Amino acid sequence: MKAVVYEGVKKLAVKQVDPPSVHNDSIVVRVHTCAICGTDVKAYNIGIASIKPPVILGHEFIGSIEEVGRSVKGFSPEDRVTMATTLPCGHCLMCRRGLPNLCMDKSPVGTFINGAFAEYLEVPARGIEHGNLMKVPDSLSDIAGSISEPLGCVINSQNIAGVGFPDTVVVIGGGPLGLLQAESAKARGALKTVLIQRSKKRYEMAREFNIDHVVCSEGTDPVKYVLDLTDGFGADVVINAAPTREAVQLAFRLVAKSGRVSLFASVPKDNPLVEIDANHIHYGQISVFGASDSTAENHYEAMHLLAKGGISTDKLITHVLAIDDFFKGIDLINSREAMKVVIRPNG
């Protein structure tokens, strides 16, 4: 079968590999669609140290079950499925606390075990036992459904920060995840949603989405804009979805007293220190939250939000390509021509 194989830093190949075979306790899935994630692009551009080569990339997928292992219950051939990426151990302290996304012995699909940029993918017992693999509702298309994983990560962060009615929610960064953050906040009942984007190109793209206010910070002062919009108070929730230290600092200038800041995006690994006024947090009673990855519950919620039509997937998914065009997809993302690119491994 054809697959996208990560073979080391700056080494990625679309090539023929042996298809997986089913085991007693596993399931083999025929992949319909798999979206390219920032992680995949990063692996191609600069390499990711935690990825164990050789491994097939891809974790944002929808497929149908090809074969079910003899001891597996609850799934049948032809079931359409998707999967939460991080397969937890189920026994460590984090798993015991109901935080499988923070599992200390996790095996993520598409970086640690073979992923879904391939015609077929094997789901090991771990992915079945802990509820990661799940059936997809008929109303959700293969293409739209491949956004379930990134949207699950967004839902994780919004659950942690308690986003809902009647919050004014400001999102910094108009990439795919920032757009998902803003539209998800709206779907959860946010009173006002604001998206701040620096570059003009993505600002113009973001204006097409279901977001109340889109601000281009190249021409408009985002702090003044948000203060004017909120009678001088600032935002109830600020979510940083831009991978820079400046964006983290901006978040604290946008948040109201008693507000919440979610550090959803990471900052460059080689320079992660950010200077923040601790007294501003202290006197303002500001809460700061981290958020990373998603759980099977988050993934399930995301899948149903997509099925309900709560997210502009038609605008977010700008390209659908064959697996042979994988590198074209990477180029489209690197040049910012594309938002989300979906690959169809089986044509």
Q: Which residues bind Zn ion (CB under 5 A)?
A: 37, 88-89, 92, 95, 103, 149
| Residue with smaller CB distance to Zn ion, 230 or 294 | 294
Long-range contacts made by residues 227-233, C-beta under 8 angstroms, separation at least 24? 229/168, 229/192, 229/194, 230/168, 230/256, 233/257
| Residue with smaller CB distance to Zn ion, 130 or 260 | 130
Q: CA–CA separation, 251 vs 178, rounded Å?
A: 14
| Residue with smaller CB distance to Zn ion, 94 or 288 | 94
- Crossing angle of helices 296-307 and 148-160, in 10° steps, is 110
Distance of CA 236 to the CA centre of its chain: 23
In whole angstroms, the minimum distance from the beta carbon of 254 to Zn ion comes to 26
In whole angstroms, the minimum distance from the beta carbon of 82 to Zn ion comes to 12
Sign of CA dihedral 62, 66, 68, 69: negative
In whole angstroms, the minimum distance from the beta carbon of 130 to Zn ion comes to 9
In whole angstroms, the minimum distance from the beta carbon of 218 to Zn ion comes to 28
For residue 277, the 8-state DSSP code is -
Q: CA–CA separation, 170 vs 220, rounded Å?
A: 15
> Quick one: CA torsion of 51, 55, 58, 62, rounded to 10 degrees?
-140
In whole angstroms, the minimum distance from the beta carbon of 205 to Zn ion comes to 20
User: Helices marked H in 59-175 — which ranges?
Assistant: 93-96, 125-129, 142-145, 148-160
| Residue with smaller CB distance to Zn ion, 95 or 250 | 95
In whole angstroms, the minimum distance from the beta carbon of 284 to Zn ion comes to 33
| Residue with smaller CB distance to Zn ion, 176 or 222 | 176
Q: CA–CA separation, 274 vs 125, rounded Å?
A: 41
| Residue with smaller CB distance to Zn ion, 8 or 90 | 90
